[in-house]
């Protein structure tokens, strides 16, 4: 006696199941991609799988001579699921605004097919010999199916007319293959291919959406790159401000009359500072923290020579063997000195630069004992560009963050860099 086994099911639906598996794998791999309508794909996959089960049920009814009433259930499921697949493909591909109105043909078909489960014979019925007999509305499921497919084709022409040629031709191809397959199934010219074709259509549209998504990501990356380059220029302007350069030159001029040796040393420091600024801005990659540290020390020397108010800078470096984007700590230290330490005219101003390593992050903290007030509008205009630039570059280059908080005892700026995003450098910690 002929039997129906699990391997029989696999053999009869091998290509369809293989395509479903491939589509599931792609959806799982790309689950973090922001592709609209992926939930429709999951539903369609479930529907196609259910249709293969229904076809298997019909074969088992014939082989094992089960009660012919099982065929009613199988046929009802097929007449529900095929139009539902077409409707979901339409929703998936086309941004339908009034989805509720579009469900009316399917709802009518659903109700009439459901009624046939109770021997109304509107669309179909079976005799005890398992012979399918058409009713007066036998074409209704096919008409509903064609309604959604034709609607999909109309939208494809609309896309083409709006110069969305790629999407238009993809949608047109999907609608034409659906029509040809449906005609082939109904006329017995090509039976058993509907499920396979449905999965292939979804796969094609998935790859189309993936290409669109990739193009958007590429465009966003390009825009981010342009914005980053523009921010580099803004940072250069913010870092090497005219008043700072003029004050430094004035200090050099004054030292030339009083202490020529000190003036020469100051010129060396000032030249190194400007060179480091320009070299740092031209760097595309993160630099050693030790390099940033040397730049910071040069800046501190310039500030101490150029101001009458004394201040102290304390280094508590628990870790130095890491990389950071260039000029990320120096702007923080500059703000801490100018708007923190130098606000204490009694010479007790203090800035602390601290680095530490946690289980997951490298943390750099810059604190001052200033008045603890936030920047004025004028200060924000002059120095806020550098801080915002630091935040953006930390996020883009190493997934880092910068948090600034003001208290009555000064300001605290905390840079956090995940260990997973920077390269450890074989550098001895001093």
Q: What is the pLDDT of residues 135-182, one digit of tens each?
A: 899 889 889 988 888 888 888 888 888 777 777 888 788 788 877 877
Q: Which residues pair with 353 in a beta bridge?
A: 315, 366
User: Can you say how many angstroms the Cα of residue 338 is from the centroid of all Cα atoms in its chain?
Assistant: 39
Q: Is 174 in the same domain as 280?
A: no
Q: Is 91 in the same domain as 193?
A: yes
Q: Is 246 in the same domain as 193?
A: no
In this structure, what DSSP letter does residue 318 have? S
With CA atoms as reference, report the closest residue to 332 among 370, 381, 368.
368
Residue 231 within any structural domain of the chain: no
For residue 213 the two structure tokens come to 């998504």
Q: Is 65 in the same domain as 151?
A: yes
pLDDT of res. 190: 65
pLDDT of res. 422: 55
Residue 269 within any structural domain of the chain: yes
Q: Is 159 in the same domain as 247?
A: no
- Looking at the chain, the whole-number percentage of residues with pLDDT higher than 70 is 86
Residue 120 belongs to domain spanning: 6-219
pLDDT of res. 413: 93
pLDDT, greater one: 422 or 221? 221
Q: Is 197 in the same domain as 328?
A: no
Query: Does the pLDDT value for residue 426 go beyond 60?
Result: no
For residue 61 the two structure tokens come to 């009814």
Name 97's Cβ contacts closer than 8 Å, sequence gap at least 6. none
The per-residue pLDDT for range 17-64, each reduced to its tens digit, is 898 898 888 888 877 776 767 787 888 888 888 888 888 888 888 788
Is the Cβ–Cβ distance between 413 and 400 less than 8 Å?
A: no
Query: What's the per-residue H, E or C state across 140-166?
Result: HHHHHHHHHHHHHHHHHHHHHHCCCHH
Query: Does the pLDDT value for residue 242 go beyond 70?
Result: no
Q: Is 193 in the same domain as 246?
A: no
* Cα dist from 333 to 165, 217, 296, 355, whole Å: 54, 35, 7, 13
Q: How far apart are CA 90 and CA 174, in angstroms?
A: 10
CB neighbour burial string for 223-252, b if at least 16 within 10 angstroms, e if fewer:
eeeeeeeebbeebbebbeeeebeeebeebb
Phi first, then psi, for residue 233 (nearest 5°) are -65, -45
Q: How far apart are CA 212 and CA 215, in angstroms?
A: 5
Residue 227 within any structural domain of the chain: no
Query: Does the pLDDT value for residue 383 go beyond 60?
Result: no
Q: How far apart are CA 317 and CA 386, in angstroms?
A: 24
The single residue listed with the structure tokens 């280059």 is: 397
For residue 28 the two structure tokens come to 């799982």
Residue 234 within any structural domain of the chain: no
Which CATH number does the domain housing residue 324 bear?
Answer: 3.30.565.10
pLDDT of res. 63: 82
Q: Please say which residue of 184, 219, 254 terminates a domain.
A: 219
| Mean of the per-residue pLDDT values of the chain | 81
pLDDT of res. 90: 83
Q: Is 193 in the same domain as 321?
A: no
Q: How far apart are CA 94 and CA 112, in angstroms?
A: 27
Q: Please say which residue of 170, 186, 219 terminates a domain.
A: 219
Collect contacts of 154-158 with beta carbons under 8 A, ≥24 apart.
Answer: 155/90, 155/93, 155/94
Query: Does the pLDDT value for residue 237 go beyond 60?
Result: no
Helical segments of 259-348, H only: 260-281, 289-306, 330-338
Based on the structure, what is the number of domains in the chain?
2
Q: How far apart are CA 293 and CA 327, in angstroms?
A: 10
CA distance between the termini of the chain: 84
Q: Which residues pair with 350 in a beta bridge?
A: 312
For residue 410 the two structure tokens come to 């000064």
Name 73's Cβ contacts closer than 8 Å, sequence gap at least 6. 57, 117
For residue 201 the two structure tokens come to 């259509």
What three-state secondary structure class fits 401?
Answer: strand
Q: What confidence tier does 424 reach under pLDDT thresholds 50, 70, 90?
A: very low
Residue 224 within any structural domain of the chain: no
Q: Is 364 in the same domain as 245?
A: yes
Q: Is 102 in the same domain as 179?
A: yes
Q: Please say which residue of 161, 186, 219 terminates a domain.
A: 219
With CA atoms as reference, report the closest residue to 330 among 372, 386, 380, 405.
386
Query: Does the pLDDT value for residue 351 go beyond 90?
Result: yes
Q: Is 27 in the same domain as 150?
A: yes
Q: Is 252 in the same domain as 207?
A: no
Residue 226 within any structural domain of the chain: no
Q: What confidence tier does 243 reach under pLDDT thresholds 50, 70, 90?
A: low
Q: How far apart are CA 324 and CA 293, in angstroms?
A: 11
Is the Cβ–Cβ distance between 355 and 319 less than 8 Å?
A: yes
| Sign of the CA dihedral with 194 first, then 196, 202, and 204 last | negative
Is the Cβ–Cβ distance between 325 and 332 less than 8 Å?
A: no
């Amino acid at each position: 006696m002929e039997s129906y086994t699990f391997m029989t099911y696999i053999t009869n639906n091998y290509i369809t199941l293989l395509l479903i598996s491939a589509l599931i794998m792609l959806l799982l791999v790309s689950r973090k991609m922001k592709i609209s309508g992926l939930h429709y794909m999951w539903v369609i996959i479930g529907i196609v799988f259910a249709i293969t089960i229904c076809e298997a049920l019909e074969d088992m009814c014939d082989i094992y001579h089960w009660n012919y009433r099982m065929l009613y259930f199988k046929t009802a499921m097929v007449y529900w699921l095929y139009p539902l697949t077409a409707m979901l493909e339409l929703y998936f591909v086309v941004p339908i605004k009034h989805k509720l109105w579009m469900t009316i043909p399917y709802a009518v078909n659903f109700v009439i097919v459901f009624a046939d489960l109770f021997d109304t014979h509107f669309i179909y019925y079976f005799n005890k010999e398992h012979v399918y007999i058409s009713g007066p509305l036998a074409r209704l499921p096919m008409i509903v199916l064609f309604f959604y497919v034709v609607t999909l084709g109309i939208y494809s022409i609309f896309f083409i007319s709006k110069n969305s040629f790629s999407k238009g031709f993809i949608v047109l191809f999907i609608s034409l293959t659906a029509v040809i397959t449906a005609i082939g199934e109904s006329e017995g010219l090509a039976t058993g291919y509907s499920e396979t074709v449905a999965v292939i259509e979804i796969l094609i549209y998935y790859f189309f959406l993936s290409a669109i998504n990739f193009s958007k990501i590429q465009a966003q990356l390009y825009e981010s790159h342009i914005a980053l380059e523009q921010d580099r220029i803004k940072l250069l302007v913010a870092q090497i401000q005219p008043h700072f350069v003029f004050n430094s030159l004035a200090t050099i001029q004054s030292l030339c009359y009083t202490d020529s040796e000190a003036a020469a040393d100051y010129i060396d420091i000032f030249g190194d500072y400007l060179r480091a600024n320009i070299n740092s801005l031209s760097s595309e990659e993160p630099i050693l923290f030790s390099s940033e540290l040397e730049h910071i020390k040069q800046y501190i020397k310039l500030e101490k020579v150029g101001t009458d108010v004394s201040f102290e800078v304390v280094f508590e470096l628990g870790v130095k063997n890491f990389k950071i984007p260039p000029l990320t700590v120096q702007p923080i230290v500059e703000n801490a000195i100018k708007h923190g330490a130098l606000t204490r005219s009694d010479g007790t101003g203090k800035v602390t630069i601290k680095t530490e390593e946690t289980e997951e992050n490298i943390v750099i903290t810059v604190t001052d004992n200033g008045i603890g007030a936030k920047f004025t509008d004028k200060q924000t205009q002059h120095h806020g560009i550098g801080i915002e630039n630091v935040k953006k570059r930390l996020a883009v280059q190493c997934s880092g963050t910068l948090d600034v908080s003001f208290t009555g005892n000064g300001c605290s700026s905390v840079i956090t860099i995940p260990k997973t995003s920077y390269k450890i450098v074989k550098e001895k910690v001093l």
